[in-house]
Amino acid sequence: MQYAAFGKEQGVSLSRIALGTWAMGGGSDWGPVEDEQSVRAVHAALDQGINWIDTAPIYGLGHSEEVLGRALQGRRQHVFLATKCGLVRFTKGINHWLKPDSIRRELEDSLRRLQTDYIDLYQIHWPDPATPLADTLEELTRLKQSGKIRFIGVCNFPPDLLKQACDMADISCVQGPYSLLDKEKSRQILPFIQPQNRAFAAYGSLGGGILSGKYKKEANIRRADARSYFYRFYKGENFIHTSGVVARICRLAKRDGVPPAQVALGWVLHMPGVTGVLAGARSEAQVCQNAQAVLWCPQPGDLDFLEANTCSPLK
């Protein structure tokens, strides 16, 4: 495994591949998954040298955190644990909700499920237009001062809102989508955070799995599946476009004798300003494969070859 400094924070070294745990929540988003399989995947990640694990209370409505809490018993001290707040289920669905009292409740629930008394990185999952940003960040700062969280992060913030947040609070890490299929959003914010030496965590770097090369034709995906509503690469014109990107990935993977997922993740790891990549996994084999992405060494011209004509025409 390779490691990188956590932005401007002193004394924190993080694996460049982090374990993403959305799929471990099971349920409608990703389909059923056995908890024991998830626990084994977490243990495999630790054995591979991965020390950064990212989750959220909305993943399986708390189930991902519960499984992770079980898996980390006796090994919590070896993990940089990141979770989130701000997506809350109400009667009529899931809302962006960052009221201070709600954040306090979410944090206490996450601590209980994760079986820990502190969170290393506590992140706003998505902005909440109905709550003043200052109120939210003041509450997160109080929680940091109390010792319940070590660092504050934000996810999915557009450039202007991110600049406001960084003026209001000590933001250690920014998380955003970054893949060969979805890169423009993060490239709009990286020039701002790089000079300030803030960490950047890339998510969705396999496009929900499609950049692993395992989908040879359009998949029959349920409407509730995250690959239907969040990763829109699996149908129609989007799939046709994505297939061309996957073909280039597979060409380099075959040349180098590695799985395509390692090339797709490796491309992101070589992008300027990227601290680490959050790679989701449902099994030990996927964890081990993803961890090896740090070893992929592109030849001259490879990065540009992969990126050629990858502006995604999402419909």
The predicted pLDDT at position 223 comes to: 66
DSSP assigned state of 22: G
Mean pLDDT computed over every residue of the chain: 92
84-115 b/e (C-beta count within 10 Å ≥ 16 → b):
bbbbbeeeeeeebbbbbebbeebbeebbebbe
Q: Which residues form the catalytic set?
A: 59
The predicted pLDDT at position 238 comes to: 83
pLDDT band at 212 (very low <50, low <70, confident <90, very high): confident
Q: Count CB-CB contacts under 10 A for residue 44.
A: 19
pLDDT surpasses 60 at 311: no
pLDDT band at 167 (very low <50, low <70, confident <90, very high): very high
pLDDT band at 208 (very low <50, low <70, confident <90, very high): confident
Kind plus residue range of the DSSP H or E element containing 133? helix 133-146
This prediction's pTM: 0.93
How far apart CA 24 and CA 67 sit, in angstroms, is 8
In terms of DSSP bridges, do strands 13-15 and 52-54 run parallel, antiparallel, or are they unpaired?
A: unpaired
- CATH superfamily for 3-307 is NADP-dependent oxidoreductase domain (3.20.20.100)
Residue boundaries of the structural domains of the chain: 3-307
The predicted pLDDT at position 63 comes to: 93
Q: What are phi and psi of 189, to 5 degrees?
A: -105, -25
pLDDT surpasses 70 at 314: no
pLDDT surpasses 90 at 142: yes
Out of 36-45, 232-241, 281-290, least confident range: 232-241
Calculate mean pLDDT across residues 52-73.
95
The predicted pLDDT at position 309 comes to: 63
* Digit-coded pLDDT (tens) for 257-306: 999 999 999 999 999 999 999 999 989 999 999 999 999 999 999 999 99
